[in-house]
Amino acid sequence: MSNTTAYETDEREERAPSFVVGAWRNRRWTRSSSSILLGLIPTALVIMSGGQLPVIGPALAEAGLLTPATAPVVAGITAAIALLNLVLFPFAREAYYRSTVALREGLSGVFVLGWMFLIVVVCRIAMLFVIWAVSIPAGILGLITLGDEDRRGLGWRIS
């Protein structure tokens, strides 16, 4: 018996999509277009600031790292980090939604009015910025998790 006959099977071999494509398709609670649109808001703010953010800019200036000579480098690094956040934001957002699904379903029948409505809206906007701020580590974790689930056949949007 040859080595090739030992591995031949009559079953049709399923070819899984690439790991990243599988992770992109394995989303239940978020959509690509809305995630990218929401991720563009802080990305645009960071890129337009050119590295001179309210907290980080003065700290860099005090440390002597933000001078007229280094400003283009700092702006480039800031833009690169902001774009990396934008790419990984959809995965971080999906991971957040999957981890808070029980809370959202438990509060689905609750209506808030008046000041509580304003507090809820402000907190949702704050969570958008928090998720965006940690989207590099959370997005990498989400990419690995979603891609692995899709590879194992546990995807939500398998076409």
pLDDT, tens digit only, all 159 positions of the chain: 445 554 454 444 444 458 788 888 888 888 888 888 888 888 888 777 766 666 677 777 778 777 778 878 877 888 888 889 889 999 999 989 888 888 878 877 788 888 888 998 899 899 988 998 899 999 999 999 988 888 887 777 644
pLDDT on residue 11? 43
CA distance 146 to 156: 10
Q: Measuring CA to CA, how many Å separate 27 from each of 18, 149, 159? A: 15, 10, 12
**Domain residue spans in the chain?**
30-148
- pTM of the predicted model, to two decimals? 0.72
Q: How far apart are CA 120 and CA 53, in angstroms?
A: 26
Report the C-alpha gap between 20 and 72 in whole angstroms: 32
